[in-house]
Amino acid sequence: MNYDIEYFHPRIKEDIARWPTTIQADYARLIELLMEFGPDLRMPHSKAMGKGLFELRARGRDGIGRSFYCFVQNKQIVILHAFIKKTQATPKKELEIARKQMKEVHNG
């Protein structure tokens, strides 16, 4: 594994632990891929959201989970925010939360 994963806040890990098991299983698989391939992980697994923010795209028979992440120095990846997607488009509110967290990660 080339990259290390951190969570912006322990609450994010707890949120993911409450996801339906089929989505959690896909998320775990995607995290492994992200740790191995880092910025080379692309669609359909990961999507660039602009300005250094990325979306990890987990899905299962019970729905769709999304987590936002960014890269920091020394091959670190920070999971900024996670949620269960209920609409076709990514809700603006969820994106704003992730962008705010990313600013904190990069600016201290």
Q: Could you report the per-residue pLDDT of 86-106, keeping only the tens digit for each?
A: 988 999 999 999 999 999 999
Q: How many domains does the chain have?
A: 1
Predicted confidence at residue 35, as pLDDT, reads 97
Check which CATH number belongs to the domain holding 11 and give it.
Answer: 3.30.2310.20
Show the domain range for 40: 4-107
Say if residue 16's pLDDT is above 90. Answer: yes
* Integer CA distances (angstroms), 47 to 18, 41, 73, 108, in order: 23, 9, 20, 25
pLDDT, averaged across the chain: 96
Q: Which residues contact 29 (CB under 8 A, 6 or more apart)?
A: none
Please name the helix (run of DSSP H) or strand (run of DSSP E) that holds residue 97, with its range, or none: helix 92-107
Q: What percent of the chain has pLDDT over 90?
A: 94
Residue 106: other Cβ atoms inside 10 A: 11
Say if residue 72's pLDDT is above 90. Answer: yes
3-state helix, strand, coil in the chain (%, to 5): 40, 35, 25
Say if residue 1's pLDDT is above 80. Answer: no
Confidence tier at 108 by pLDDT (50, 70, 90): confident
